[in-house]
Structure 1
Amino acid sequence: MEPEASDVCVPTTAEREQVHFASGATRCAAWHYPGTNGACVIMAGGFAVPKEPATDLFAKRFNDAGFSVLAFDYRGLGQSGGRPRLVLPVRKQLADWQAAIGFAATLPEADPARLALWGFSASGGHVLRVAARDPRVAAVIAQTPNVGGPAATRSVTAHQKPLAMLRLTGKGLADALGGLAGRAPLLVPLAGEPGSVAMLTTPDAGDGPAALDPDHRHPHWQQQAAARSALRLAFYQPGRDTARVRCPLLVLTCDQDQTAPPGPAVRAARRAPRAELVHLPGRHYAPFMEMHEQAVDAELSFLRRHLLDHT
């Protein structure tokens, strides 16, 4: 049985407090780290990754540097409400971003004119689309972003066996039809070996647990998602929106990334009027692992230059 959102509890600390905001009829959960410099970074995790394993590492560094942080769970994930669980519709996740921006603008210490977005992997694509549509966004960080379903699908297909790919597609279709009939989601692992039925079987997909939960502090992270979600992401192309991102944009890619190949992200960034590119060596999760200091330094430099230097 899937846990209710209220069953997943992480204690509030002196550095952060648990808050909630409404996204439509759904109650989303978030961590609020009060800052001192007036700027706020809004964060969410990659595909089916709750806020704690996804954002804790970077959120603390941003907050230590004076930034407020609002790190939230999408509906149907982590501590947020919403049913069915682990079904991750793009349209509703984009609505959750909009709601998070609106809530962040009301935080007592945050300047509504200095709100930044941070996302990695699938959320790194989301923040591009959100920023292209929402003039309230002052800066964006897209870390190892998945900017286009077809490009990512080609990489995934290259590291999967044809029969397993057919089985995943079949399970996704069955899950989608089951959802229409009100059945519980058919869940598949987020990562697996080639030949297994999993969302990703790229060589670096298996780095996720070691990168995001090295100390096994997040036992409630199920590391599964509804099979129908893979079908939706396959046709999602937020990289097409970068020409309409008018605020400063930092795109951080990793040269050996096989989950979100860097080439499409680089091309997408070049279409943005105010984009900056940072290339790091390593695979998809390198910014959480061996390249963490370099990634944090680049991202803090970007945030300071665009959210603080002109105040």
Structure 2
Amino acid sequence: MSMERENVRFTSGRDECAAWYYPGTDGSCVIMAGGLAVTKEPGTDQFARRFQEAGLGVLAFDYRGIGESGGRPRQVLPMRRQRADWHAALAFARTLPGVDPARIALWAFSASGGHVLRVAAETRDDAVPPAAVVAQTPNVGGFAATRHTTRHQKPLAMLRFTARGVLDALGGLVGRAPLLVPLNGRPGEVALITTPDAADTGPALNPGGRYPEWRQEVAARTGVALALYQPGRYAARIPCPLLVVVCDQDATAAPGPAAAAARRAPHGDVVHLPGGHYAPFLGAHEQALAAELSFLRAHLPAADAAPLA
């Protein structure tokens, strides 16, 4: 099929979210978003194009406050507002021509992989819930996950990051500009991710600097909020099939708690892959893609589709 992609926008709160819509051929729609402060360009296109080639429709969006979406202040990403963007994307996807509202799935990774667990569990009573959810290397929260990442940071840098986050949160209350920190860094630097996975961010998401407009920084207050965020608690309330893709050497999103969240889900399944946090974008890409496509085809079948062999 021809590779078509449309620029679309939808309303979330008082602002608009920018999105790409990849029309499919089977009436389905997979809603996608990148990880924390990762825009749709580096965060979704690698998978979205392959999903479209397989006949699935895709809606990939930027959260408010980043990328091409509206919303201020910029690079500030409250967890609640990001979840509201997911609900707005769900409502918008149901209105897209040719999309069956009963055949919509959610796909996300890292911090956003945690969001989709809670979004699927808290879908509004008056709306059709998603038919399936894919959480790839999700950050499901909890103290175990926090300990997992802080093993790769130096104590003084942790204190500096926390202090910056508290100051940023207080400044936000009086309308000050956010205090930003890099998304990635080395141990000892004040950055959101200082695990060994940080070195793979460029090759995985931004090879050769392909996306120069992607701002790889986030408000320090967002990082502090993420440390307290525990979306994995909602896994037991997810009514639809759930696939959790974990990477066994992931130093950023602890694989053990992610797999445990999948086991708590009534219809959860786990796929284990070798490698670190970004392996599904690198050496394990074809394995991840095959597992996710098999899952989506099984739970978003076309009306006249034959059973999978």
For the criterion TM > 0.5, the same-fold answer is: yes
Q: Does 1:28 align with 2:2?
A: no
Partner SS for 1:182: coil
Show the counterpart of 2:56: 67
Q: Is the 8 A contact 1:242 1:271 kept in 2?
A: yes
1: CA distance between counterparts of 2:195 and 2:209? 23
Mapped contact 2:134–2:242 kept (Cα < 8 A): yes
Distance 1:122 1:258 in 2: 14
SS of residue in 2 equivalent to 1:293: helix
Q: Spell out the pairing of 1:217-236 with structure 2 (5 A cutoff).
A: 217-236=210-229
C-alpha change, 1:275 and 1:310, in structure 2 (3 Å) is farther
The normalised TM-score by structure 1 is 0.94
Query: What percent identity do the matched residue pairs reach?
Result: 68
8 Å CA contact 2:171–2:177 kept in 1: the answer is yes
Tell me if the contact between 2:252 and 2:277 (Cα under 8 Å) persists in the aligned partners.
Answer: yes
Note the 1:10-25 alignment, pairs <5 A: 15-25=4-14
Residue 56 of structure 1 corresponds to which residue in structure 2? 45
In the TM superposition, what whole-angstrom CA distance separates every residue of 1:214-255 from its partner, at most 9, and x where no partner exists? 132210111100000011111110101010011010000000
Which residue of the partner structure matches residue 274 of structure 1? 267
Structure 1 gaps of 5+ residues are 1-12
- How big is the shift at 1:41? 0.1
Q: Are 1:123 and 2:116 an aligned pair?
A: no
Q: Which moved more, 1:81-90 or 1:126-135?
A: 126-135
> For 1:152 and 1:133, how far apart are their aligned partners in 2?
23
CA offsets per residue over residues 169-217 of structure 1, 9 Å max, x none?
0000111111111111110001111111001111112211110011322
* 1:152 Cα offset (Å): 2.6
1:149/1:233 contact within 8 Å kept? no
Paired with 1:77 and 1:88, the residues of 2 have a C-alpha distance of 8
Distance 1:272 1:14, change over 3 A: closer
Return the alpha-carbon distance in structure 2 between the equivalents of residues 58 and 170 of structure 1: 37
Task: Tell me, yes or no, if structure 1 residue 133 matches structure 2 residue 122.
Answer: yes
AA aligned to 2:241 is P
1:204 alignment partner, SS class: helix
* CA shift for structure 1 position 138: 0.5
Q: Deviations over 1:49-71 (max 9, x none)?
A: 00010000000000010111000
Which residue pairs with 2:84 in the alignment? 95
8 Å CA contact retained: 1:152, 1:260: yes
Question: What's the secondary structure of 1:137's corresponding residue?
Answer: coil
Deviates more, 1:260-269 or 1:205-214: 205-214
User: Residue deviations 1:93-114, cap 9 Å, x none?
Assistant: 0000000000000000110000
Contact 2:186/2:198 (8 A) holds in 1: no
Output the CA distance in 1 between the equivalents of 2:202 and 2:36: 13
Alpha-carbon distance in 2 for matches of 1:151, 1:100: 31
Map Cα deviations across residues 10-30 of structure 1 (whole Å, 9 max, x no partner): xxx961010000001011000
1:142-190 Cα distance to aligned partner (Å, 9 max, x none): 0000001423321221111100000000000111111111111110001
Counterpart position of 1:246: 239
Q: How far did residue 310 of structure 1 move?
A: 6.2
Q: Distance in 2 between matches of 1:74 and 1:21?
A: 11
Segments of structure 2 that go 5 or more residues without pairing to the other structure are: 305-309
* Number of equivalent positions: 299
Match of 1:209 among 202, 217, 229: 202
> Take 1:151 and 1:15, find their aligned partners in 2: how far apart are those partners?
42
User: Contact 2:5–2:22 at 8 Å: present in 1 too?
Assistant: yes
Residue of structure 2 in register with 1:5 after alignment: none
Alpha-carbon distance in 1 for matches of 2:188, 2:88: 39
1:182 corresponds to which residue? 175
TM-score (norm. length: structure 2): 0.95
Residue correspondence of structure 1 range 141-156 to structure 2 within 5 A: 141-156=134-149
Asked if structure 2 preserves the Cα contact closer than 8 Å seen for 1:155 and 1:202, the reply is no
By how many angstroms is 1:309 displaced? 6.1
